Amino acid sequence: MNRERDQTRRVGATRFTAIRARLEAAVPERGLPAFLYEFAIFGFKQGWACLFGALLLALLLGTHLWWPAAAPIARYDFLTVAALLLQYGMLAFRLESWEEAKVILAFHIVGTVMELFKTAHGSWEYREAGLLRIGDVPLFSGFMYAAVGSYIARIWRIFDFRFTGYPPPWTTIALAAAIYVNFFAHHWLPDIRLALFTATALLFGRSWIHYRPLRAHRRMPLLLGFLLVALFIWFAENIGTYAHAWSYPHQRHGWTAVPIGKLGAWYLLMIISFVLVERVHGARHGTDAAEG
Which sequence spans correspond to the domains of the chain? 2-281
Label residue 271 exposed, middle or buried (CB < 10 Å: 0-12, 13-18, 19+).
buried
Mean pLDDT of 88-103: 84
At residue 216, the pLDDT reads: 87
What is the per-residue pLDDT across 212-268, written as a single tens digit (0 to 9) for each?
Answer: 988 889 999 999 999 999 999 999 999 999 999 999 999 988 999 999 989 999 999
d(CA 59, CA 151): 17
Q: What is the dihedral of CA 94, 137, 182, 263, to 10 degrees?
A: 70
Enter the DSSP assignment of 211: E
133 forms beta bridges with 138
> Which three-class secondary structure state does DSSP give residue 247?
strand
At residue 281, the pLDDT reads: 76
| Position 289 confidence tier, pLDDT thresholds 50, 70, 90 | very low
8 A C-beta contact, residue 23 and residue 214: yes
Residues 6+ apart with CB under 8 A from 50: 147, 150, 151, 154, 155, 232
Strands of the sheet with 162-164, listed across from one edge: 162-164, 208-211, 218-221
Q: Answer whether residue 193 shows pLDDT above 60.
A: yes
d(CA 236, CA 201): 25
Q: Answer whether residue 291 shows pLDDT above 60.
A: no
CA dihedral (167, 46, 52, 111) positive or negative = positive
Q: Answer whether residue 203 shows pLDDT above 90.
A: yes
Mean pLDDT of 104-133: 92
Query: In the chain, what percentage of residues exceed pLDDT 70?
Result: 89
Q: Answer whether residue 15 shows pLDDT above 70.
A: no
Q: Answer whether residue 101 shows pLDDT above 90.
A: no
Closest CA to 281 of 127, 117, 103: 103
| Position 31 confidence tier, pLDDT thresholds 50, 70, 90 | confident
What is the per-residue pLDDT across 46-84, written as a single tens digit (0 to 9) for each?
Answer: 998 999 999 999 999 999 999 998 999 999 999 999 999
At residue 8, the pLDDT reads: 45
d(CA 212, CA 289): 9
What is the per-residue pLDDT across 140-182, written as a single tens digit (0 to 9) for each?
Answer: 999 999 999 889 988 998 899 999 999 999 999 999 999 999 9
DSSP per-residue string spanning 127-143: -S--SSEETTEETTHHH
